[in-house]
Chain A
Amino acid sequence: MNLKKTIRNYIILAVGAFLLSKIYALFGHGVTSPWMSNLYLYLLGPGALAYFLISQLIPDIVWRKGYRLFYNTYNSGIAVLINGMLLYGVLEIAGGTSQIVPWFLYIGCGLLLTASVMFYRLVRIQACNIDK
């Protein structure tokens, strides 16, 4: 697994999200949404920064069995969450609401929670192996 590539991809996505929020604001007639304007932060924080910390603190974890499943689940969680926030932003600027959009947040958070449990288990297994 190439952590540098993952970090780079998250930074590119964050820049894209930042530009998107600025371009969207140009057509928003002064109406803005924190969901939309802070979108890039969620890609930088839980995305790029989290993988940067992994690469610095526990780089060997990527070779453990089960890491791929964690990686897919975690990235999917961020993708679903970001998508939900983007929809929240679009609707908020337009002045509308939707009963479907919260489900993106529930599913996204669910995936992130599951990924966190997987990550904890991976770290624990690694720690046990070092102790042995």
Chain B
Amino acid sequence: MKKMLEFIRKKYAWSIIIAVFLSISTTYTMLDAFVMPKSYEIVSQEKSKNTTVGTQTTSEVIMNSGSTSTSNHDSSAQTEAVTSDYSYKDDNININVEKLEENGTVFYVADIQVSDVSYLKTAFANNTYGKNITQATSEMAQENNAIFAINGDYYGFRDTGLIIRNSVLYRDTARSSPDDQALTLNSNGEMQVVTEGEVSGTSLIDDGILQSFSFGPALVQDGKIASTLSTRVSKSANPRTAIGQISPLHYIAIVVDGRSSESNGMTLDQLAQEFLERGATVAYNLDGGGSSTMWLNGKVINNPTDGHHDGERSISDIIYIGK
């Protein structure tokens, strides 16, 4: 104790103590925010079954045109799926992806029509709800037998934000900004933008909300450019991922490549415009940058990059179309 008091009285002792405190606390904070995985809940098979439509086995036959015919032996119905590099079609799911290039930007527009909302699903990395638990979009898509997948909202990088997945409320903490909005999907297949904090997660579950995504901002609301968009940082062109709806069970997903010599990326305003031109009534921005990934029929079809490293980034969650 005496030695400690003597040390504290020394000229630079205080500075050393503060420097050590700041170094340790900063390192811990950065590790906690970016690295240390924390598992809060493993998604049970029971929860997954709630949204599964039948069971299936799949066999593939390569066809002359380069397209593939897939037989899905569904417990409810037998369907013949026709697939190509940019499309998938069966009795219940119709996906067409267009690869477009405008003003030096390459982007992919997926037009998705499903017969039932249960075909639009979500999955967590390693089937676990938690923080810093990550997996590549393609890995999650394969593990969940997805037909089509895009990256989600990367909920696991934040401690706040409304998270409902497959009818389970995982997080009901509103983000700090008053205009932070979440996208919800209800049991009729309708998407709606809600302001976090104004509605509780429990009431949304009671209202039949199946999924919610917490990133934003909203791009399109009621068939118009969202009013909150102008207040957001939307001037920089970046890789983007967004999802929207034309009508219930008819959705559009857009993934934009960027930060590369091949593609500049899009501003949020440009992205909102793309949705409007396609007749979207609702559209919502998801996690972008290096996370932006679109996966169809077993492969990644865009070029994900964060500007420094090419290839898929490991993320928390995906939105996918699957049976």
Residues of A within 8 A of B (CB): 29-32, 72, 76, 79-80, 83, 87, 90-91, 94-101, 104
B157–A30 CB distance below 8 A? no
Contacts A79-B22, A98-B159, A104-B25 given; does A29 touch B307 at CB 8 Å: yes
Kindly state whether residue B160 has any CB partner on chain A within 8 Å: yes
B160–A97 CB distance below 8 A? yes
Contacts A100-B29, A101-B29 given; does A72 touch B238 at CB 8 Å: no
Complex Cα distance A91/B236, Å?
Answer: 18
What's the nearest-Cβ distance from chain A to residue B244, in Å?
21
24 A-B pairs within 8 Å (CB atoms) are namely A29-B238, A30-B236, A31-B233, A32-B233, A72-B14, A76-B14, A76-B18, A80-B22, A87-B30, A90-B30, A95-B157, A95-B287, A96-B34, A96-B157, A96-B158, A97-B157, A97-B158, A97-B160, A98-B32, A98-B33, A98-B159, A100-B29, A100-B33, A101-B29
Contacts A76-B14, A95-B287 given; does A31 touch B236 at CB 8 Å: yes
Residues of B within 8 A of A94 (CB): 34, 157
Number of A-B contacts (CB under 8 A): 58
B32–A79 CB distance below 8 A? no
B22–A97 CB distance below 8 A? no
B235–A30 CB distance below 8 A? yes
How many residues in B have their beta carbons less than 8 Å from beta carbons of A?
A: 27
Residues of B within 8 A of A (CB): 14-15, 18, 22, 25-26, 28-30, 32-34, 154, 157-160, 175, 233, 235-238, 259, 287, 289, 307
Residues of B within 8 A of A97 (CB): 33, 157-160, 175
In the complex, given contacts A32-B233, A87-B30, A97-B160, what are 5 additional A-B residue pairs having Cβ atoms less than 8 angstroms apart? Answer: A95-B154, A95-B158, A95-B287, A97-B175, A100-B28
User: A91 — nearest CB in chain B belongs to which residue?
Assistant: B33
Residues of A within 8 A of B18 (CB): 76, 79-80
Complex Cα distance A97/B276, Å?
Answer: 31
